[in-house]
Amino acid sequence: MTDYIIVGAGSAGCILANRLSADPTVRVTLLEAGGKDSNVLYRMPAGFFGIMKAGIGNWNYETVPQPGLNGRTMYFPRGKVLGGSSTINGLVFLRGNQGDYDGWAQSGATGWSYDDCLPYFRKLESHSQGDTQYHGSSGPIRVTTAAPVEEMSPVGQAWFKAAESAGYPVSEDLNGASQEGIGRPDANFADGVRQSASSTYLKEALERSNLQVITGAHATRIVMDGKRATGIEYMQRGRREVIKTEGEIILSGGAVNSPQLLQLSGIGEPELLRKHGISVVAEAPGVGEGLQDHACFMIKQRMTKPWSALPFTQPFKATLALMQYALFKTGPTLSNGLEAMAFFKTRAELEYPDIQFHFLNLLYEDHGRKVIQEHGFMASANISRPRSRGSVKIASADPFADPLIDPNYFSDPEDLRTARDALRIARELIATSAFDEFRGTEYEPGENVQSDEDLDQYIRNTSNSIYHATSTCRMGSDPKAVVNPQLQVNGVEGLRVVDASVMPAVVSSNTNSTVMMIAEKAADMILNKALSAA
């Protein structure tokens, strides 16, 4: 028997395990389907590419065929390791726009405005800038900002010059007063080491005798007593196990696994459950609905100078860099490869930026698993505020069967228009004099791809996920909301969801720091504490 069962030791679960077990009289059990995060690639900032190529620490999901992508399926990685996606992601530590959170509150997520959330963003980080209005200095996650512009590579400097010459603003802090503009991104690594939820929050708590961490534990069902959640059934090394609680169960499996487990346990849309022979415990038609993700699409440009990161991807230099990191924590692997990012508006009348750019000093495809053997750079764009929504649904009553993941990319035609405008803005920047010294020919989509129709086909044929799945257990106050603003599952007792799935809408940036903020705020809710709003 335990007081709290947390299902999923990812970005949220590790934080909850730390905060809830801080009271030595409280017993906490943390379940994780994956294994330990001991591989050196999990620690190395540039390890993201090796992790993706090897497929380690990952559920390695695929979406269902996407009509908006001309019938293609999409690789859809999710963390399956201690630390979850914070252990395998690209280490971009951005929060989105202040308006994202105010929009949550206005939609029915009372208590989740930007002013309500900012204290928890500050609480979780120890920022290289020190303690400021927008940043904390004593949290478990060490955060650094990319190098000053004058210290960047020629390519990084060119992006800033191009944006300014084209009339776009510069953001002094993409997590500060104004997100709009080109800026230097924050990243969660320091002294050459990734700052994942497991290497920080969980590591700090592992010596506590009242915290039990069980890896290799695949949750198969929530045990119910009437309308109350009382335990978790899981499989470990081929054996069925059950752990019970008189307290609370907290699902932190993410936007795919949390709705899947709810549905397998009889909490969801009744017709779907009955179709798979599952008894209905609670009618919750919103479970699995509303999936959002940022699709990304790129302008790939050759360069006439050997200034890209291509040499470091070659076997000999890559091995040398790995050894240099393992022995001395020095070398090219100390970076996640992002010097500059931008948030722009495609139309001046918009209140907030609607597109995001990751500027990369390398040409690759297939999620970085295949490097293009030419010197070049990329503007990787995504729609910050997509209108398209999809779903996650169980494919059967088998808990080991992958669910049906349908992001429904570009189902709203406005998303396609925004994507098209983003590519044209990228071309506008690359055409400025800032790139004259090293601009080569366009690798993709190619100079001949100019019309709306041709750009639309390029977007549909080449877009990928950028791994920001959210909103499948949406928080709100309406009948279809899965959880209330305290993140308690509606219609069930003793059960909460704390992860990316509760976001009413995806934030307009990378999602990892937001998930950590949600977990910090949820821990205080569970413990009946509260930080004062900013």
Binding residues: 81, 89-92
Contacts of residue 214, Cβ cutoff 8 Å, sequence gap at least 6: 29, 30, 31, 32, 234, 236
Binding positions for FAD are: 81, 89-92
Active site residue 468: yes
* 3-state SS record for 403-466: CEEECCCCCCHHHHHHHHHHHHHHHHHHCCHHHCCCEEEEEECCCCCCCHHHHHHHHHHHCEEC
Confirm if 16 and 252 have CB atoms less than 8 A apart: yes
Cis peptide before 445 (omega within 30 of 0): yes
Contacts of residue 359, Cβ cutoff 8 Å, sequence gap at least 6: 155, 156, 159, 338, 339, 340, 341, 342, 377, 378, 379, 380
3-class state of residue 289 by DSSP:
strand
Give the number of C-alpha atoms closer than 13 A to the C-alpha of residue 116, restricted to the C-beta side: 20
Alpha-carbon torsion (326, 328, 329, 331), positive or negative:
negative
Of residues 522, 496, 475, 480, the one with CA closest to residue 228: 496
**To which H or E segment does residue 271 belong?**
helix 270-275
Identified catalytic residue from 127, 135, 294, 468: 468
Cα–Cα distance for residue pair 84/367, rounded to 1 Å: 18
Cα–Cα distance for residue pair 488/262, rounded to 1 Å: 13
Residues belonging to the active site: 468
